[in-house]
Amino acid sequence: MMIQAFYTGVSGLKAGQTAIDVTANNISNISTTGYRAYRTEFSNLFEDALVSDGGSSINHSTIGAGTKVQTNSMVVKDGSYSISERSTDVAIEGDGWFGVLGPFGEEYTRAGNFTFDKNSGLVTPNGNYVLGTMGNNIDYETNTLTNTLNEVSLGDVTESEILRFPQELTYPGEASTFAKFYGGLDINEENQATLGADVIDSNGDKNYLNLTFSKSENQPTEGSLWDVVATVKSLDGETIYDTKNGTINFDENGALTSSSLTTINNNGSEVDIDLGSGYNGVVVSSNATVNASSSSDGTIKGELSGYDINRNAEVVAIFSNGVQSSVGQIAVYHFQNNQGLERSGNANFKPTSNSGDPFIMKDADGQNIVGANVMTYRLENSNVAIEESLTQLIILQRSYDANSKSVTTADQMMQKALEMDA
């Protein structure tokens, strides 16, 4: 029995040392982004029956043989969230994991403190590549956006890829196809103030379309006839790309009835000139002031201002001309049993047979979705509760001291027994 007491105390020391190590590691990672704390769980070793009564009594006399570490279980609750100043810092609220690719294969983490490496890859601080789905709308040879996307559909787990976003990216612009004019011409004036509109050429550069109106020498018996000169020139006025002449007719009430001015060349691209019809567009009035205005389509060329990440984990490219386009999406993975994940270092984990394989959540229509709330300009802190860990450390220290005392006591009793035998 004294030998059993000795080994019981030793088992308590071993289990207690493991628990102290786990708790100390938790405390040391209080500042580690995305860290998941662990809690040690114990179980009883075999028990020996002291009295056997054939099962006729409800009381059983047994003595335990010590304790052991049953498992170290992950604390799955979310950590607190801190505000960040970087657009590439993101945090998951609720269940979910970011996927990263490192030297040892795919791993999963809650730490969203991402940045860009020299090859334009979205990476973790230790250089692991973040996984997701690219929008395939970037020409990497010319660093040009090929088309704008409102969103990027998240791919399946087997389609996950490294996310790369160049630090220099150009939006090529879209050429104007039309220019619509509104304004009033004074029937009593021979020469009128000009109307103008900004138009974008095929190079994505902004030019200026100018219209100058004057009354024709030969006027019809009813209504009025006007000459118009259209000119497209560079904003600095040094280059004229095209000039067109035309005439426009108005009825006796000042409504536009016809125009011979239809299109003009804008440095390689054609622009439709729309003066309207009836009273919708350019009109003639008598001593009345009508505000002039114009509208046109097209978008000027823009350079990358930076990347942002929205609440759907999409990476959005923002350009100097105000254009925004999704270029990729960070994947958020899920597991059947988060407790079954195996820590692989830092805040990274690897799946096991207990956790199951990673999967992407789907909506009611079978489309892949993030399945969690992704917060931007946020980082998830360690979920270690310092007050709980310190209290646990005190308890474990007391338990360790008690087990140590039991070993000492058992040793002293064995010495006494040996002396008595002598």
Give per-residue pLDDT as tens, 128-146. 999 999 999 999 999 999 9
Say if residue 25's pLDDT is above 70: yes
Say if residue 6's pLDDT is above 70: no
Higher pLDDT residue, 399 or 97?
Answer: 97
**Mean pLDDT taken over the chain:** 88
**pLDDT for the residue numbered 193:** 67
Asked whether residue 167 falls in the same domain as residue 192, the answer is no
**pLDDT for the residue numbered 54:** 54
Asked whether residue 40 falls in the same domain as residue 137, the answer is no
**pLDDT for the residue numbered 1:** 52
User: Bridge partners of 172?
Assistant: none
Residue type, 146: T
**pLDDT for the residue numbered 413:** 76
Asked whether residue 183 falls in the same domain as residue 290, the answer is yes
Asked whether residue 131 falls in the same domain as residue 275, the answer is no
User: Domain with 206 in it: what CATH number?
Assistant: 2.60.98.20
Supply angle C-alpha 409, 412, 413, rounded to 5. 90
Asked whether residue 106 falls in the same domain as residue 202, the answer is no
Q: Which residues, 6 or more positions from 129, have their beta carbon under 8 angstroms from its beta carbon?
A: 100, 101, 102, 121, 122, 123, 162, 163
Structural domain ending residue among the three candidates 267, 296, 325: 296
Residue 82 — very low, low, confident or very high, per pLDDT cuts 50/70/90?
very high
Say if residue 177's pLDDT is above 70: yes
Asked whether residue 12 falls in the same domain as residue 122, the answer is no
Say if residue 287's pLDDT is above 70: no
Say if residue 314's pLDDT is above 90: yes
Q: For residue 98, give both structure tokens.
A: 């970011």
Comparing CA positions, the residue from 402, 389, 397, 398 lying closest to residue 39 is 389
Q: How far apart are CA 91 and CA 75, in angstroms?
A: 17
**pLDDT for the residue numbered 2:** 56
Asked whether residue 147 falls in the same domain as residue 188, the answer is no
Asked whether residue 387 falls in the same domain as residue 373, the answer is no
Asked whether residue 162 falls in the same domain as residue 308, the answer is yes
Residue 398 — very low, low, confident or very high, per pLDDT cuts 50/70/90?
confident
pTM of the model: 0.77
Asked whether residue 335 falls in the same domain as residue 400, the answer is no
**pLDDT for the residue numbered 64:** 67
Residue type, 246: G
**pLDDT for the residue numbered 403:** 76
Percent of the chain with pLDDT over 70: 92
Say if residue 50's pLDDT is above 60: no
Query: Do 302 and 205 form a contact (C-beta atoms < 8 A)?
Result: no
**Sign of the torsion angle spanned by Cα atoms 294, 295, 301, 305:** positive
Mean pLDDT (whole number) for 245-257: 93
Q: Is 265 helix (H, G, I), strand (E, B) or coil?
A: strand
Asked whether residue 290 falls in the same domain as residue 391, the answer is no
Residue 249 — very low, low, confident or very high, per pLDDT cuts 50/70/90?
very high
Mean pLDDT (whole number) for 364-393: 91
Q: Give the residue ranges of DSSP H helices in 67-182.
A: none
Higher pLDDT residue, 67 or 266?
Answer: 266
**pLDDT for the residue numbered 97:** 97
User: Structurally, how many domains does the chain consist of?
Assistant: 3
Mean pLDDT (whole number) for 371-398: 90
Asked whether residue 72 falls in the same domain as residue 51, the answer is yes
**pLDDT for the residue numbered 58:** 58
Q: Which domain holds residue 289?
A: 178-296
Structural domain ending residue among the three candidates 236, 266, 296: 296
Say if residue 216's pLDDT is above 80: yes
Q: How far apart are CA 331 and CA 290, in angstroms?
A: 55
